[in-house]
Structure 1
Amino acid sequence: MPSDDPPTGFRKVDFDRDRPEPTFNSHIGNLYVKRGEKGTRDEFVMGFRVHQHMCNPAGGLHGGMMMTVADLVGAMGGGTLAGLRKFLPTVNMTFDFVAPAKVGDWVEGRPELVRATRSLLFTNIYLTVGEEKILRASSICKIPSGDGLAFGKAKLVREDAKP
């Protein structure tokens, strides 16, 4: 598989830490997260390099891959912005496919926290290639009562993906 070559500051997400079997997220390809200054548009950024196995027969990034990443950005990123350290199951999402991405592109996803209630988290998500928006999504996640799982078992790999 070609190199992901993530930009400086991105760290690979290890979704399967200590699990005997891989989960769905491990099969789609490597995903990376960068954490920026609180309150900025870069407070939580998820990124990935587009590889051929992520594309549709026309050569563009598959819509299912875009939806999967947007779902993770909405739940993990939106939860981070809201200060929640638990697994947030998605109860509703809408998607608008704006433009294609192609093999070799670096795609980034950023959440915008719309509102958090006692039981629901509302988030807008954009996936971009450079400054070009390729997907717009909105997400509603359930905020479970009690402690619940803390992002399942996912964690960021300690070393930076790129020095």
Structure 2
Amino acid sequence: MTDDFDRTQTFDIPDGYQLLPWHRGFGRQVGPLFEKRDETGLTRAFRVEEHHTNGMMNAHGGMLMTFADMAWGGAVEKDEDTWWVTIRLLCDFLSGAKHGEWIEGNGKVVGHVDGIFTVEGRIWSGERTLLTGTGLFKVIERRGQ
């Protein structure tokens, strides 16, 4: 849980990033997450904290896939209030991420048919690629809360 931060938890984040206001549900469990929106598009990020790690103190593969889903799905957002669902997510794990590392990710729409967007994505830390893959996403109408 995000309220179980350890003493090394920091919010020293690179310029341009801001905290995602996901305070409920699953987003709360895997946070804190960050994003920046600029001329290159939307990039999401997180720092590997203790609650993101496996027994070897590396980012858990499930956390990296969860983050890939959130980062790559962001490619279909028109604005900060777009809702979407994941239809399929395929990931290739290329490298690990250690506790404390800053992880970034984004995706690019490469196809759109019948309301289904195909996105190619990448997750990285510095110059090292951690994951690549593809996702299928559908934009949906926002429902009442």
Alignment TM-score > 0.5, same fold: yes
Q: Name the CA distance, whole Å, in 2 between partners of 1:129 and 1:86.
A: 27
Kindly tell me the number of residue pairs found equivalent between the two proteins.
137
2:6 is the alignment partner of 1:13:
no
Structure 2 counterpart of 1:58? 56
2:22 is the alignment partner of 1:29:
no
Letter of the 1:69 partner, please give it: F
Letter of the 1:33 partner, please give it: E
Q: Name the CA distance, whole Å, in 1 between partners of 2:45 and 2:15.
A: 11
2:82 is the alignment partner of 1:86:
yes
2:97 is the alignment partner of 1:101:
yes
Structure 1 counterpart of 2:72? 74
* Structure possessing the higher relative contact order (Cα contacts under 8 Å, 6 or more residues apart): 1
SS in 2 for 1:14: coil
Cα shift readout 1:68-118 (whole Å, capped 9, x = no counterpart): 11101122x2113xx365311101111111101001100000111111233
TM-score (ref. length: structure 2): 0.86
SS in 2 for 1:61: coil
Q: Name the CA distance, whole Å, in 2 between partners of 1:134 and 1:26.
A: 23
Structure 1 counterpart of 2:44? 46
Identical counterparts, % of pairs: 28
TM-score (ref. length: structure 1): 0.77
RMSD: 1.8
How far apart are 1:4 and its partner, in Å?
2.9
Runs of 4+ in 1 over 3 A off after TM superposition: none
CA contact (8 A) 1:5 1:49 kept: no
SS in 1 for 2:16: coil
Q: Which has the larger strand fraction?
A: 2
User: What are structure 2's unaligned runs of at least 5 residues?
Assistant: none
